[in-house]
Amino acid sequence: MEYKFLVASQELERRQLQQKLEAKNEELQRLSTIATIDFLTQLANRRRFEEYLHIEWRRMTRSQQPLSLILVDVDFFKSYNDTYGHPMGDRCLIKIARAIKDVVQRPADLVARYGGEEFAVILSNTDILGAAHIAEKICFAVRKLAISHENSQISSYVTVSTGLATVIPTFNSSFQKIIVAADRALYQAKAAGRDRVCFQEQTENLEVKRIATLAKLFLSDKLFIREELWLSIQKSQQIREQNQQLIKQIQLGMQKNGQIMQKRRQIMQKI
């Protein structure tokens, strides 16, 4: 009888300890989630952004695929806060966060609040053309919200400026490289009049890197190296020409978009 009581008591104690352990694990999971989420917008926060960018940088380094980053800044947001108050400013940021999230649909991509009125979008395995398309869709989605901004210097509604960069990461390089490039592009978008997309492509010439590797492996075979070098030069020229054509297409698209926006503003002013 005493033995059965002891066994039952131990089983009860084991279950209680198990429940406490599960509760602790759930609490740790909750705290871990809170630590990576921005309270206001419910997007990933700056900490999670840097963690994920580091992971994707390493992954794209191994696969030698392009990684794109879009930085989004709300135009004249300080003026918006001064005009409508901080509670309205918070609501504005929440709406913009949702609009960006609706545009960026792929599970592997990340939307984060970068800080203040800035957002960031990480696009893995995405070239500059694909990233520019997403950036344009983000600008359009924010305009479509039609959030009034009477003290904006460029529109009657809230708009955003976006800067994007595309990089094929190399070994022993830092993900800070793409942040600097995207930030520089964002500065260009603001300087050019805001409410637009600017980009910088930092794609490395992979053919040159390939021939450097081959040189180490086949140093003794000079003829082989000479042939491979010639092929690499031809491929590099083709890649350069393709990139130039691609950039021209994007620039033409952006010019057309600017013309459409200018006509739209003229129509709005007449109304």
263 and 175 belong to one structural domain: no
CB 69, CB 121: distance < 8 Å: yes
Which one of 22, 50, 117, 227 is the catalytic residue? 117
226 and 194 belong to one structural domain: no
Task: Give 130-172 pLDDT, tens digit per residue.
Answer: 999 999 999 999 999 999 999 999 999 999 999 999 999 988 8
Place of tokens 């009125």: 117
Q: Which stretches within the chain are classed as H helix? A: 2-35, 46-63, 77-84, 86-103, 128-145, 176-191, 206-217, 222-270
Tokens in use for 12?
């009860």
CB 97, CB 43: distance < 8 Å: yes
Place of tokens 């305009």: 143
Whether residue 212 has pLDDT greater than 60: no
106 and 209 belong to one structural domain: no
Whether 117 is catalytic is yes
User: What residues make up the domain containing 255?
Assistant: 205-271
210 and 179 belong to one structural domain: no
- The reported pLDDT for the residue numbered 156 is 92
174 and 130 belong to one structural domain: yes
Distances (CA, A) of 168 to 12, 66, 77: 57, 4, 33
Whether residue 90 has pLDDT greater than 80: yes
Bridge partners, 69 (sequence order): 122, 165
* Of 176, 204, 232, the domain-final residue: 204
Whether 69 is in a domain gets the answer yes
Task: Give 3-43 pLDDT, tens digit per residue.
Answer: 555 556 666 666 666 665 566 555 555 444 568 999 999 99
